[in-house]
Amino acid sequence: MGKSKAGSEGTVRLERRGAIAWVTIANPPVNALSQAVRAGLAACVEAAIADPDVSLVAIRGDGRNFVAGGDISEFDAPLQPPDMNDVLATIEGSEKPVIACMHGNALGGGLELALACHFRIATPDTRLGLPEVTLGLIPGAGGTRRLPRVVGAEAALRMILDAAPIAAAKAFDIGLIDAVAVDGHEPVCERLAATIDKTTLAERRVGTRALTEVQQAQVAAAIAQARQSVRERWPWSGARRAAIDAVERGLDGSLADALVQERANFDACRVSGEGRALMHMFFAERAATRLPDGDATTQGLSIGTVGVVGAGTMGRGIALAIAGAGVPVQVFESDTGRRDAAHVAIADHFKGQTERGRMNPDAAQAVMSRIVFVDTIAGLASSDLVIEAAFESLPVKLEIFAALDAVVGPDTILATNTSTLDVDAIARATCRPDRVLGLHFFSPANVMRLLEIIRAPGTGAATLRAAAEFARRIGKTGVIVGNAFGFVANRMIFEYQRQGEFLVEEGATPDAVDRALVGFGMPMGPFAMADMAGLDVAWWLRKEVPAMRRADRRQSRLADLLCERGWFGQKTGQGWFRYEPGGRKALPSPETDAVVAAERIRIGIKPRAIAEQEILDRCLFALVNEAARILEAGLAARPGDIDVIYVHGFGFPRWRGGPLKWADDVGVGHVHDVLRDWAARGEAWLEPAPLLARMAREGVGFAQLERKGWIGS
């Protein structure tokens, strides 16, 4: 048998070598199980089974993966034939052994494909899992039926609910795979081809296999434990509850009935609010670093070594993030005291990581060895990228960039970690504005995934492309945004926090505001977040940056009054809340309550009871309103970019899809009307943005803006 193709674009290949038929899925980059792949897989497997000279069928993936899942772009509509369950029935019912030869990622539908095979082997680098619940879905091709029969209900439910892939060694330990193919797939397949008989084959059909007595005894406890875990860890997750129901139904009865129930649960999740929100985020994250049409790169830039200017909290965090990703980093700090403190802090960080079992000592030493301190700024001359993480002062940054421009190579990219300052003004301190941009890391930089990539007017497309690839390389979620005060993330959060302070002036407590937002799904409220970041940071901005205040609009003095007393939050033990020495738990503060009460008297406000819904409306709708202004100004290319920023930068609940997906679900018209009513009561900050008013008037949601061309118009 020579090579043959199946599928509309040759997405599956069939080749016989000796008695083994090799079925290769070739649908890069992840070999997703698209309609063409399903059709090609069915055709090739059927041809191999029918070939009298074939004694074993081996299914593998081309490129870096086995199969990393289904084709998510097809999930918005009923799936087209062939149904994956029909393809898997052909594989499982084959009278010739079928072996899954896995490498790279074997996830979702890829693992379900492997479970329908009679044998499963994997190279040591393989990651196996059923992560569908991260998309608000459940396994839809027999995973909830077959996996419990292979590894037991408890281990299966843990894999499905946690959604975290496991390594090949762990998969072997729990019986998910039959061998770790250290020397590759071929030797194992040749050995199996010579030893398998039909009796063995019948026992390997997982879908129709009965549970062992041990597995039966564990079922009730495993189901109860899983339901309790979802109540405690993921109370919002309808997908996880549906997955448990499908597993429970699949433990008894026929395979056909189990598959019908699983598919019904899958389809219900697919059209649920949770499912649509999580799939929205999946696609939004992948679009966030996409450059506009016509912004082609004409020159490639590669980043091999990185320099960091500044060894304070942010500089250290940036260095740790970069070194942790395997990239060498050089750090320059002009202040001897800060440099010495940085050495100690970095050593303490790795000591803590090893003591808590998060890193072994050798790995910690390897990462630490990639961080090298240099004595002069000229020591960064060989860097491909230099990130400035100095004090938030424009004169300071201008001086640093002028000095860097004089010592680094002509293609070196210079980036500022500023959170508010004008990147274009910083670029003008150099002779390379096309190689200057902002890389706004979020604190702590070695933990937070979000990275705002700020495009100044002169930033070149090649520079942006290199920065986006660098973000991916160091494990960050990069989002390209425009250059304006506060960029996107901070510009929006200022309005969110402003409304929180107004609500406290009017009668709410900081704790009541925070509880309302945490109940909505935020990891913490605006006041606990401000205390954690340090109230002095925003205080400095309010004093130095005119854009933070407008004389024609209401301002709150509450945060300033706290700062004037030296109450900066957690680091001083007192802010909006009180903190015990060394503690981080926010406790009620009678001292802050007294400051608030005095300020209410001064400005003539009689406190009133404020309902939770008003707290949510004013804080969250303020976010949405400012986002509309940002889109209108062209500072974000897509509404989804803003959703990505808020999910990854501030913990907006992913299962709600980010603030703009959530606003579409609530109804843009409703958001507009509530804001308009508050503005009519004198709250000028809540005046609906012109774009929001236009959207409400014409019945357009944020999801439609890009198609209509209203962004930046």
Catalytic residues: 112, 132
Nearest to 43 by CA among 99, 100, 86, 104: 86
Beta bridge partners of 33: 70
What is the maximum span of the chain, computed from C-alpha positions, in angstroms?
93
| Complete edge-to-edge strand list for the sheet that includes strand 371-374 | 371-374, 329-332, 306-309, 385-388, 413-416, 436-441, 450-455, 477-482
CA distance 230 to 239: 10
How far apart, in whole angstroms, are the C-alpha atoms of residue 488 and residue 482? Answer: 8
Nearest to 274 by CA among 665, 668, 669: 665
Let me know if 204 is exposed, middle or buried by CB neighbors in 10 A (0-12, 13-18, 19+).
middle
Chain-centre distance for alpha carbon 277: 13
Integer Cα distance of 131 and 449 in angstroms:
20
User: 375: which residues sit within 8 A by CB, 6+ positions away?
Assistant: 332
Q: Quote the CA–CA distance of 588 and 581 in Å, as a whole number.
A: 15
Q: Which residue in this structure is represented by tokens 């960080």? A: 349
Q: What is the rounded CA–CA span in Å between residue 330 and residue 337? A: 18
Task: Read off the amino acid at residue 701.
Answer: G
**116 phi-psi bin (left φ>0, alpha ψ -120 to 50, beta other):** alpha
Query: How many C-beta atoms lie closer than 10 Å to residue 132's C-beta?
Result: 27
Q: In what order do the strands lie in the sheet with 20-25?
A: 4-6, 12-17, 20-25, 56-61, 98-102, 119-122, 179-180
Looking only at the bridges linking them, the beta strands covering 166-167 and 127-129 are antiparallel
For the four alpha carbons of 681, 684, 687 and 690, in that order, the dihedral sign comes to: positive
- 372 pairs with which residues across the strands? 330
10 Å CB burial of residue 328 (0-12, 13-18, 19+) is: middle
Counting runs of H as helices and runs of E as strands, what totals does the chain give? 30, 18
Q: Name residues whose C-beta falls within 8 Å of residue 244's C-beta, 6 or more positions apart in sequence.
A: 157, 161, 223, 226, 227, 230
